[in-house]
Amino acid sequence: LMIEDGIGRITNLLVAKTTNDSIKGVGQDGGIVTTALEYLFDKDIIDAAIVSIYDKDLKPTPKIIFNKEDLIKSAGTRYSVSSQILPLKNLYRIPQDIQKEKEIHDIDQLKIAFVGTPCQAKAIRKMQYLNIKPAHVVKYIIGLFCFENFHYEKLYELLEKETNVKPSNMKRTFIDKKFFVHTDDNKEFEVVLKNLDPAVRKNCLNCEDFTAKYSDISVGSVGAPKGYSMIVIRNEKGQELIDNLLKYNYIEQSSIPIEDSKEWMEKKKSLFKRMISIKKKK
């Protein structure tokens, strides 16, 4: 499990975006994570996925989903903790109707895709390394770039103070140098990130993993143009997944001149290392 390099093993890098218009409307940046799960469901490669959904107050909640119809609800980025490991505890209590519908005769034969932050991806990988059930049913680990995460109550208390908007009236939040809040009545508010520092989880201040180095693929916005996602491929399984997303036109890649590809890749790796360095100094 030891990966000494801060950015981990990288076999390939690319920038891409979804071709699905429905996902473009709700996904974060290039919508790659939602699209990858859509493909895995379409091809019956997975039976389920562990994702995060919002409640009415934008509080993230971990959930195991069994079909791609529930994917749209999980699209977008969460800025407070969603305990993604918890759904694994309930695997052996899957409702009978779902077991029948999915023809699940043995829970140990389930095939699951897991989406989570760097620390959560590491936890799953460590469970697999130590043969701790039920991590053995996780067939894909999709990691998310993560600079830091926030305590939900503290974050939305500060956001409400800064914007005078209740969480139940916030439609969408995202970070692009500042923290943006979109409301139900289509207003937009900007909050300086420094003002939200009191809500940052203390654990995150000690974390040096920015790119989810224990995943099969890692996805984030850093290093990608607007509307696209950066994809970090970690192993053969991750490469095969991305190759098929391109082959079956689930995603489209932003082109880079072949003669510049090696230099481009090294620049992106340097960027990731700078982000880790900034994390360490916070």
Distance CA 233, CA 140 (A): 12
- In the chain, the domains with their CATH numbers are 12-149+207-272 (3.40.640), 150-200 (3.10.450)
pLDDT value, residue 16: 96
Does the structure show a pLDDT above 80 at 55?
no
| Nearest CA among 252, 188, 199, 278 for reference residue 20 | 252
Decide: helix, strand or coil at residue 90. helix
Distance CA 190, CA 140 (A): 36
Cβ atoms of residues 236 and 175 within 8 Å: no
Calculate the alpha carbon distances from 243 to 8, 44, 129, 139, 247 in Å.
Answer: 21, 17, 27, 17, 6
Burial 133-145 (b: 16+ CB within 10 A, else e): ebbebbbbbbbbb
- Least confident segment among 48-52, 78-82, 134-138, 165-169: 78-82
Torsion angle defined by CA atoms of residues 153, 157, 163 and 165, in that order, rounded to the nearest 10 degrees: 70
- Mean pLDDT of the chain, nearest integer: 86
Does the structure show a pLDDT above 60 at 1?
no
Higher-confidence residue of 74 and 152: namely: 152
pLDDT value, residue 92: 75
Does the structure show a pLDDT above 80 at 59?
no
- Measured over the CA atoms of residue 49, residue 51, residue 54 and residue 59, the dihedral's sign is positive
| Banded model confidence at residue 242, pLDDT cuts 50, 70, 90 | very high
A 10 A CB-CB count for 15 gives 19
Distance CA 231, CA 47 (A): 24
pLDDT value, residue 282: 60
Q: Tens digit of pLDDT for each residue in 217-238?
A: 999 999 999 889 999 999 999 9
Q: Tens digit of pLDDT for each residue in 116-130?
A: 999 999 999 999 999
Distance CA 146, CA 160 (A): 23
pLDDT value, residue 156: 86
Does the structure show a pLDDT above 70 at 72?
yes
Higher-confidence residue of 32 and 100: namely: 32
This prediction has a pTM of 0.88
Higher-confidence residue of 12 and 109: namely: 12
Q: Which two tokens stand for residue 48?
A: 């389920």
- Judging by DSSP bridges, how do beta strands 170-176 and 48-54 pair with one another? unpaired
pLDDT value, residue 37: 96
Q: Tens digit of pLDDT for each residue in 131-190?
A: 998 999 999 999 999 888 888 889 888 988 989 988 888 887 887 788 888 888 888 898
pLDDT value, residue 170: 84
| Banded model confidence at residue 43, pLDDT cuts 50, 70, 90 | very high
